[in-house]
Amino acid sequence: MIKKIGYGIIITFLFFFFFLTDTKANYLENPSLASIQQLIQKLVESVQIKDYELAKQSIEQLSTQLSAIPYKGMTTIEGMEAITSTAIQVKRNLAALSPDDDQIAYSTTQLQLAIDALNHKEQPLWHRYYLTLRTDLNEIEKAINSNQKEKYEMSVQKYQKHYQMIKPAIQVSKPAYVVEKIDSLHTALASQKIDQNKAIILTQLKEALHELFYGEEKDVIGKIVEEKTLWNTTLGMGFVIFIVLSYVIWKKFKGAKINIST
């Protein structure tokens, strides 16, 4: 009898432990987008093997479902337009008389990142590009310091290509003014002719990118506190339930023991 009660307590504890862990890991995901996630994965796989006929079918199905999503509360108007325009670009690239493999792969990746950003608010895939962009900016800085104009232009183009890759996803995740701030710095950097001014703009761009990916210090602290509070609250509720169940089991065992003794 005691062994059974012990097993019951252990099973109850393990249930709540794994339940709470799973809740913490997945509470931010939106299950309503599961079918769209499957379709974008199918599209990506088709593009990877260059099966463009299958890719055309996938993008058509994807476009139909994307048009039916209730975007309100999930992203901004700009984010919705970014997803729509990127999907249209994928269609155009696939429909070209002479399909360009690189353009198709590029636009498909843009769409994949944008849809992922719609479903994963806290850990979107586009966050993985921070080091890539910082490396690009460091190369631009070296070109400015060494007065290598050709290398500077090539480095800027490389950076722009990487940034444009994730821009639709950023538009899904961030308010319009954040994207506009980055774009204005890009314009200023591209139009600037004086190296000293380029260096100043580049410093501002590095700071803006850091805020884009990680937020301001107060935002980061607030996010940590919020997640910790949610986790502690959930854990506390689970612990209370565990104690109550343990008490009920103990009472039953005590009652059974009294009945046996009488």
Specify the range with the lowest mean pLDDT, choosing from 38-47, 170-179, 242-251.
Answer: 242-251
Question: pLDDT, tens digit, for every residue of 44-72?
Answer: 999 999 999 999 999 999 999 998 888 88
* pLDDT above 90: percentage of residues in the chain: 63
Judgement on whether residues 189 and 253 belong to the same structural domain of the protein: no
Q: Is the pLDDT of residue 96 over 60?
A: yes
Range 7-16, long-range pairs (CB < 8 A, 24+ positions): 8/249, 9/245, 9/246, 9/249, 12/242, 12/245, 12/246, 13/242, 16/238, 16/239, 16/241, 16/242
Judgement on whether residues 132 and 202 belong to the same structural domain of the protein: yes
Residue from 161, 173, 170, 105 nearest 133 by CA: 161
Q: Is the pLDDT of residue 198 over 80?
A: yes
Cα–Cα distance for residue pair 129/113, rounded to 1 Å: 11
Residue 50 within a domain: no
Check: CB of residue 185 under 8 Å from CB of residue 207: no
Cα–Cα distance for residue pair 262/187, rounded to 1 Å: 89
Judgement on whether residues 153 and 179 belong to the same structural domain of the protein: yes
Question: pLDDT, tens digit, for every residue of 200-218?
Answer: 999 999 999 999 999 864 4
Cα–Cα distance for residue pair 131/133, rounded to 1 Å: 5
pTM above 0.85, yes or no: no
Q: Name the residue range of residue 16's domain.
A: 2-25+224-261
Range 157-165, long-range pairs (CB < 8 A, 24+ positions): 159/133, 160/186, 162/129, 162/132, 162/133, 162/136, 163/133, 164/110, 165/106, 165/109, 165/110, 165/113, 165/129
Judgement on whether residues 189 and 228 belong to the same structural domain of the protein: no
Judgement on whether residues 238 and 171 belong to the same structural domain of the protein: no
Judgement on whether residues 131 and 181 belong to the same structural domain of the protein: yes
Judgement on whether residues 194 and 163 belong to the same structural domain of the protein: yes
Residue 18 within a domain: yes
Confidence of residue 223 (pLDDT cuts 50, 70, 90): very low
Question: pLDDT, tens digit, for every residue of 140-169?
Answer: 999 999 999 999 999 999 999 999 999 999
The pLDDT value given to residue 67:
86
The pLDDT value given to residue 199:
95
Judgement on whether residues 254 and 189 belong to the same structural domain of the protein: no
Residue 248 within a domain: yes
Per the prediction, the chain carries an average pLDDT of 81
Count of domains in the chain?
2
Last residue of a domain, one of 160, 177, 206: 206
Check: CB of residue 185 under 8 Å from CB of residue 205: yes
